[in-house]
Each structure stands twice: as structure tokens, then as C-alpha cells.
Amino acid sequence: ILGFSKLICVDRVTKAISDSRENWHWLEKQGLIPGGSRLLNFHLGDARVLANGIIAPRSVEAVVSEGYLGEPMGRVTVAEIHKRVEELLALYHQSFEEFRKILRPGGRVAMTFPVFLLDRHKYYLPITHLIAKLGFKPLLALPANARKSGVLEVSERGSVLYGREDQKVWREVFVWRME
């Protein structure tokens, strides 16, 4: 898949692993990926401790993750958004510290971060400088011609945004390269 010969699926939720296996088998049945689960290994684990026995150091070319968006939000307030942002900053920072351990030099991370919406204002995670300090460089998530298409929204940070107007949390897609 995407030119990689071995894939590793890690999640800390058993149902997510089960759903991923089901999706993988569906893709095989559709003929969209080569048959045989030898290409994919599933692990119950936490992104903050990948290098502790789940994945060998410097053995991964790319990490692709739809990051955790936080617990479902009831009534959204600015105070609740700030609380959620602080909680998620620690999670993502620790995750990127682990990615740095398992990625080969030049390895990439494609990941989503939550963007919280309140009164038509977008609240982004202030994480990019922390990730850069770990030795990652942001790459453009979309080629220039796709950014001009008007179909996808590109943020002022160069990331891709997607979500529906009625959602409280959108997703922001970044691609990073480890230097």
C-alpha cells in the first residue's frame, strides 16, 4: 500500500484494532490491496510508548495517524477548548517524541490534529513549534495545484482543514519530515 511493503497498525483501543482488521480484510476482498495479512501487523498499544518493545528504533519510514481528538464535547466554551488543547498538547508532544525514536532519518509523519470551532472562530493546537524543536520539518500537505482547487481549505499554517459547518471539531492535516 502506498509503496510500503510492511504496515503496522497500533491503537490503544481494542475496538479500533478490530475495526482496522475488518477494513483491511474488506480492502483485500475488493482487490484494492494485495491479499495476505503478512503485510500488516496489528498491535494494541499507545503512541507514547512505541519504542518500548512495539516497534524497533529507526525501523519506520512513515507514520500515518488520525490523532485523538479528545472526549466528545457537550456545551463548548472557550475555557473548555483551552482545557482540551492543554491535554492534547501533552499527548501529541509525547507521541512525536516516540515517532522520532522509531523513524528512519528522512521519515515522514502524516497526522491530523483537532481544530475546535466556536462562534465561527477556529482554535488550533499550538503544537508546530514543539514538533519543530524535536527535529521535524513541516511539508506542504497538498501540491500547489490542489491548494488552488477551492475544494479543500488550506489554513494559514499550510495545513489542510476538513470538517462540516455543523461540527464542533474539524481536522487539520499536516505532513512532517524528520531531519
Contact 162, 173 (CB under 8 A): yes
For 72-83, the pLDDT digits (tens) are: 877 889 999 999
Instruction: Give me the phi and psi of 126, to 5 degrees please.
Output: -80, 70
> Does 146 have pLDDT greater than 90?
no
Q: What average pLDDT does the chain have?
A: 85
Write down the pTM of the prediction.
0.83
How far apart, in whole angstroms, are the C-alpha atoms of residue 100 and residue 120? 35
pLDDT, tens only, 6-31: 778 888 889 988 998 898 888 888 88
Q: 162 - beta bridge partners?
A: 171
What is the grid cell recorded at 144? Answer: 500547489
Residue whose C-alpha cell reads 498499544 in the numeric block: 45
Here the cell at position 161 is 482543514
